[in-house]
Structure 1
Amino acid sequence: MSADPLLDETIDPAEVAVEEGANEGRPDDRVDDERHDEENRLKPEYVRAVRLALEEDRKGEVYELVEPLHPADVADLLELFDTDERTDLTIAISDLMTGEVVAELNDWVREEMMEALPADAVALIADQLETDDAVQLIEDLDATDQRAILAEMEAEGRAAIESALSYPEETAGRLMSREFVAVPEHLTVGDLIDYLRIHGTVLGDFFEVFVVDEAHHPVGTCSLSWILTTPRKIALTDVMKRDQTLIPVQMDQEEVALMFQKYALISAAVVDESGRLVGQMTVDDVVHIISEEAGEDALLLSGAGDGDINEPIREAFSSRVRWLVANLGTALVASLIIAAFGGAIEQLVALAILMPIVASIGGNAGTQTMAVTVRAIATNQLTKANTGRILWREARVAILNGVTVAVLVGIGTALVFSVPLGAVIALAMVINVVTAGLAGVLVPVLFERAGQDPAVASSVFVTMVTDSMGFFAFLGLAVASGLVS
């Protein structure tokens, strides 16, 4: 018998084979079953079957149809139903409405359901969840509902959620998990293994163990692979990794995601202002952050607000219309430029025919550069240290693009209309594309320097610059060249 307790427990290879075999083929089975299509989405026929059983009040059949689904698929199914149907479906499958299902729901759908449920029911669901998921469950509810739900919760869970809600939204303090494993630095590997075995049922899932000093400051980490492959008598201080990435509680979630990406982290300790370990961020949390931030930036660039199909119509209208109104104002600038050259357009109708080409190409060029710039700012690739270099780079790209497109449109215009008009539109095209490239960098950078999200309104102002400059350059050059008086 081995002296190492870890090796005392005999593992039957047959059992391992059975367990591994049990998991094999599950993805294919799930894809090929009657509920999922090839892309692992719920089939329309299956959704219709659930809806029909619900409409005919066959609750037992509804339960049988939904019960085999994974919690994430139950959440997807709920999101496919209208509000009234969703309430009836929730009642029919109440036993299946676990915290896992609620945690997977779309933000708008979850908030709607939480507002419809009594406080004790929401508290019951929150008690099943980890702290970060429970916070997400109730953080968007109004203060009265939050107090009612917290009053129904167990004391330990209530204290953890209240602590999380004290931090600003989208910070590490709000999002971190308060369930983690921290041990004193005087332990050996064997001591740690014994501790984990004794307390394993309450520790939850973890990827590494944090080693702390007497003041609860993190001094190192031990990954599970190190713990399992190191002799019991070795001290933790001899095997732990002392260099670690610490995340302040006030750090924005986007910066947290960048740190995980940059340093290839699986988990990281979160510390308060005094440097004490208060929580951890794990890679599964960061995946959600990355997905959320990427979608948010894309929607903000278009002025579509949250852009969620479950968002109430009033909120969707409010978030979108203000940017359309702002765009109307900036479009008036371009209209005034056209009006100033109204006489020239009357003399040469070809100007009116060709103007949209100049503005459209400039707008597309500006959008390309703006998208690259916003992404570079979001990923910390563009900073104050390299703004000048990036601006010069995009200017050179814009010159090459402008000249290429200008040659093509100039030749086409010369063949259809006249050589002088071809030269005018070619020069105007170069000017507008270069201007678009510079605006695509400068507008987001200026927003970022002013402390504003560069994705929010950059598109409106870049479009104004490219349209206005396009019209002014083309019409102004036409007048200056003598094509019109």
Structure 2
Amino acid sequence: MSATDLQDRDVETPVQGEGEQFDEENRLKPEFVRQVRESLRDDNEDSTYDLVEPLHPADIADLFELFEREDRTMLAAAITDLMGSEVIAELNDYVREDMLEALPPEAVADIVEQLETDDAVQLIEDLDEPDQRAILSQVEPGDRAAIESALTYPEESAGRLMQRELVAVPESMTVGDLIDYLRKSDDLITEFWEVFIVDHRYHPVGSCQLSWTLRTPRDIALTDVMKRDQTLIPVGMDQEEVALRFQKYALISAAVVDESGRLVGQLTVDDIVHIIQEEADEDVMLLSGAGEGDINEPLRDAYSARVRWLIANLGTAVVASAIIAFFGAAIEQLVALAILMPIVASIGGNAGTQTMAVTVRAIAMNQLTRSNTKRILLRELKVALMNGATVAVLIGIATALLFTPQLGAVIAAAMIVNIIVSGMAGVLVPVAFERLDQDPAVASSVFVTMITDSMGFFAFLGLAVLAGLATV
């Protein structure tokens, strides 16, 4: 059929996200969500099913996340036929865990068997060990062995993430042999982009994209057309490093190998997209001390994740308060000091946060390493000098007009000092955590805030005393 014939055909293709259920930003409308909730509470399962049935699995997952825990159980019972593996895989981790706990092991096992290995592992890895055993006992032996093997690898490693379903053929094949194999084999995975070529030890020696296979004469050996330069992923590699390699080398898929170099699985770019999002969200939440920051996170977990950093921040705030107390007499003599102090600390804190965010991102992206730390430090020092000078001129002129020229000079000097110190702290604190093998996003903000506040108060009040505006 030609392209013209296809264009002439009167075919309507539904587009996901369009219709009365969605708003202009492709979100479920409050009216639609309320309609489904009312239908559930009226025990009208048929009406509920008719409302939900047209939705894409990802939108059904979104609908679950908009409901309270009790309503989710009722919704799952009303749309049992729609609760396939695609919906379960799209659910938020906390919501999915609640749903799985409400389902019998046999039902969860049926869902697991529909999923690829990586999705199946993600489905059950956060469940309690007794629940895992109960579910796996209902799974087919082959699938159970693959899942149990994946669970032996560390969390957030390539071994946990990889798919064991792949296409691998011996290096002795020709292109024609490969095409015949792909057409005749009934147990191959349904979606793949490249074929891995292996030697007699099952070590990957190359890969061949399907597009190359289809465009190459049948009698050509695979070893003559395969890509020998591969990016092999060690099975124990952290998922963040895996994502960086996919980004750096523009990979669509990559082979995963064990310690002996044997092919054990593959990673595909759709898995990496989720990893990149997870890692970005995690770093943002860690910088703020908000834990996982998930609105579906249990209250107790959210409380414990946040309160410990607030307590740590309370301790560091005492340092700044001690500096203010030391200059208490000076503040009493010149009330303008108390008025202007928060400005110095606030601007310094913002400058430190900016530099810290840039540094943490650079570390996460492998842009800041031991080989260029000095250069980055000097760069941020120059930025801090320019920023400090600009802000100092503005605040100095304003203070001179409102109070005295001498006080304007003092606050301008203090502003330059604090912004420079803030810039250095924004680099050195995350780098220090990274050198200590700690996540630089975890506690950097607490210590950077302490340094900027303390130095801001000390510089401003100290310079005021040195200038003779007040005495200690």
TM tier relative to shorter chain: over 0.9
The amino acid of 1:111's aligned partner reads: E
Displacement of 1:13 in angstroms is: 3.1
Q: Partner residue of 2:2? A: 13
Q: Partner residue of 1:471? A: 457
Q: Partner residue of 1:178? A: 164
The amino acid of 1:92's aligned partner reads: A
Of 283, 287, 312, which residue of structure 2 is paired with 1:301? 287
Q: Partner residue of 2:331? A: 345
CA contact (8 A) 1:405 1:429 kept: yes
Q: Partner residue of 2:415? A: 429
- Distance change in 2, residues 1:403/1:288 (3 Å): same
Of 366, 389, 394, which residue of structure 2 is paired with 1:403? 389
Deviations 1:226-282 (A, max 9, x none): 011111111101110000100000000000000000000000000000000000000
The amino acid of 2:400's aligned partner reads: A
Displacement of 1:118 in angstroms is: 1.5
The amino acid of 1:335's aligned partner reads: S
For the residues of structure 2 that align with 1:16 and 1:137, how far apart are their CA atoms?
Answer: 44
SS at match of 1:202: coil
Of 250, 255, 266, which residue of structure 2 is paired with 1:280? 266
The amino acid of 2:83's aligned partner reads: M
Q: Partner residue of 2:319? A: 333
Q: Equivalent pairs: percent with the same residue?
A: 71
Of 228, 231, 236, which residue of structure 2 is paired with 1:250? 236
- Distance change in 2, residues 1:339/1:203 (3 Å): same
CA RMSD of aligned residues (A): 1.4
CA contact (8 A) 2:167 2:188 kept: no
CA contact (8 A) 1:179 1:204 kept: no
CA contact (8 A) 2:359 2:430 kept: yes
Which structure 1 segments of 5+ residues have no match?
1-11
Of 127, 131, 139, which residue of structure 2 is paired with 1:153? 139
SS at match of 1:280: strand
For the residues of structure 2 that align with 1:257 and 1:372, how far apart are their CA atoms?
Answer: 19
For the residues of structure 2 that align with 1:247 and 1:19, how far apart are their CA atoms?
Answer: 47
Displacement of 1:21 in angstroms is: 7.5
Q: Partner residue of 1:205? A: 191
Displacement of 1:198 in angstroms is: 1.3
With normalisation by structure 1, the TM-score equals: 0.95
With normalisation by structure 2, the TM-score equals: 0.98
CA contact (8 A) 2:166 2:188 kept: no
- Distance change in 2, residues 1:121/1:18 (3 Å): farther
- Distance change in 2, residues 1:14/1:378 (3 Å): closer
- Distance change in 2, residues 1:454/1:165 (3 Å): same
Of 56, 60, 80, which residue of structure 2 is paired with 1:70? 56
Q: Partner residue of 1:384? A: 370
Deviations 1:64-96 (A, max 9, x none): 111111111110011110000000000000110
SS at match of 1:215: coil
Deviations 1:151-171 (A, max 9, x none): 111101100000000000000
SS at match of 1:279: strand
Which structure 2 segments of 5+ residues have no match?
none
Of 433, 436, 447, which residue of structure 2 is paired with 1:450? 436
The amino acid of 2:394's aligned partner reads: L
Displacement of 1:202 in angstroms is: 3.3
The amino acid of 2:2's aligned partner reads: P
For the residues of structure 2 that align with 1:210 and 1:252, how far apart are their CA atoms?
Answer: 23
SS at match of 1:220: strand
Q: Partner residue of 1:96? A: 82
For the residues of structure 1 that align with 2:442 and 2:381, how far apart are their CA atoms?
Answer: 23
- Distance change in 2, residues 1:41/1:22 (3 Å): farther
Q: State the aligned residue count.
A: 471
For the residues of structure 2 that align with 1:20 and 1:178, how far apart are their CA atoms?
Answer: 41
CA contact (8 A) 2:162 2:265 kept: yes
Deviations 1:290-342 (A, max 9, x none): 00000110010000000000001111011001000000000000000000000
Of 3, 6, 19, which residue of structure 2 is paired with 1:33? 19
Of 298, 301, 304, which residue of structure 2 is paired with 1:318? 304
CA contact (8 A) 1:31 1:38 kept: no
For the residues of structure 2 that align with 1:18 and 1:94, how far apart are their CA atoms?
Answer: 38
Deviations 1:409-429 (A, max 9, x none): 000000000001000000000
Displacement of 1:34 in angstroms is: 0.9
